[in-house]
């Protein structure tokens, strides 16, 4: 007697039909561990849709079985904090309000977006985080008022020292300062020193200097995840660029009015193979740029 054919519709297994109590997330490379009720605490949010409506097997997982979300891993901690107790506490001089507001909209958290709106308006009044003039370095007693008119002037009034800073029409008032570019590179040189060496490999381009200057010059190409929550008037040596073309960094500095004033380099050499006598040269180089 012929056996009945099995149905092609396979029901999900027990482990794929429900979520565990403890959820591991991989958000843009950052790992978070939280409770399942936290992720579904706000009905209608994107996380609620993912973890209450969908099946676990339908969600993307990384190679360690963590649920993957392709968003900003650093900013997600504030999203998760809000999901836990319906409020968010940001550090002083937090420069990422605009990006966090965008994350709130993506995760469908309108109340969080409303909380961030006043902070965004305050940042917009000071020039969208670009900080063309570092007003924090002025005397605390000075009352500052802004008037960015067609003459591009800023009026600063105080008890004893009223002054007006004016730039030429069509130009911007920019701060003076130093930016140091450092990179670690390597190249291979064969036995015959007259032959061309293999082109250098730049592993990472580091940026050192005042945070406001670095952001002005490099913008979105600046990776800030290694030194978050720092006010724009502070200095950092932990930023690096998302690209590895040294000339591209020089072009951006030149476009911003910087010119190189100093450089230095150190190097070491290792033999890769006794028979070929190839050598790998590794160097660390720093270039100092200045804008008047």
User: Tell me: the pLDDT tens digits for 13-37?
Assistant: 445 668 899 999 999 989 999 999 9
- What per-residue confidence (pLDDT) applies to 135? 40
Percent pLDDT > 90 in the chain is: 37
Residue stretches of the chain with pLDDT short of 70 = 1-17, 121-173, 187-202, 270-278
SS3 state at 254: helix
DSSP assignment letter at 137: G
35 and 21 Cβ atoms separated by less than 8 Å: yes
User: Tell me: the pLDDT tens digits for 120-141?
Assistant: 766 655 544 443 334 444 444 4
Which pTM value belongs to this model? Answer: 0.43
- What per-residue confidence (pLDDT) applies to 36? 94
145 and 156 Cβ atoms separated by less than 8 Å: yes
- What per-residue confidence (pLDDT) applies to 95? 78
- What per-residue confidence (pLDDT) applies to 66? 93
Domains of the chain listed by start with CATH number: 22-116 (3.30.710.10), 177-190+199-291 (3.30.1410.10)
- Beta carbons within 8 Å of 144's beta carbon, 6+ residues apart: 135, 138, 156, 157
Over the chain, what is the mean pLDDT?
76
């Amino acid at each position: 007697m012929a056996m009945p054919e099995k149905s092609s519709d396979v029901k999900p297994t027990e482990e794929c039909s429900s979520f565990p109590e403890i959820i591991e997330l991989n958000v843009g490379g950052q790992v978070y561990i939280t409770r399942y009720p936290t992720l579904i605490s706000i009905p209608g949010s994107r996380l609620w849709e993912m973890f209450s409506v969908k099946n676990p097997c339908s969600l993307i997982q990384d190679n360690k079985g963590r649920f993957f979300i392709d968003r900003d891993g650093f900013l997600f901690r504030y999203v998760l904090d809000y999901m836990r107790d319906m409020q968010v506490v940001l550090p002083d001089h937090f420069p990422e309000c605009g990006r966090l507001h965008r994350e709130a909209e993506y995760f469908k958290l309108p109340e969080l977006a409303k909380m961030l709106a006043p902070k965004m308006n305050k940042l917009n009044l000071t020039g969208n985080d670009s900080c063309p003039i570092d007003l924090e370095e002025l005397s605390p007693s000075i009352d500052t008022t802004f008037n960015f008119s067609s003459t591009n002037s800023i009026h600063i009034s105080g008890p004893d020292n009223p002054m007006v800073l004016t730039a030429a029409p069509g130009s911007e008032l920019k701060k003076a300062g130093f930016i140091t570019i450092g990179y670690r590179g390597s190249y291979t040189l064969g036995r015959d020193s007259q032959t061309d060496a293999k082109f250098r490999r730049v592993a990472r381009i580091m940026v050192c200097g005042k945070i406001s200057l670095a952001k002005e010059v490099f913008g979105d190409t600046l990776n800030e995840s290694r030194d978050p929550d720092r006010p724009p008037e502070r200095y950092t040596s932990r930023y690096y660029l998302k690209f590895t073309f040294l000339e591209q960094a020089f072009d951006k500095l030149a476009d911003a009015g910087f010119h190189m004033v100093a450089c230095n380099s150190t190097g070491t050499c290792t033999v890769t193979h006794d028979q070929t006598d190839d050598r790998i040269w590794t160097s660390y180089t720093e270039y100092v740029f200045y804008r008047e």
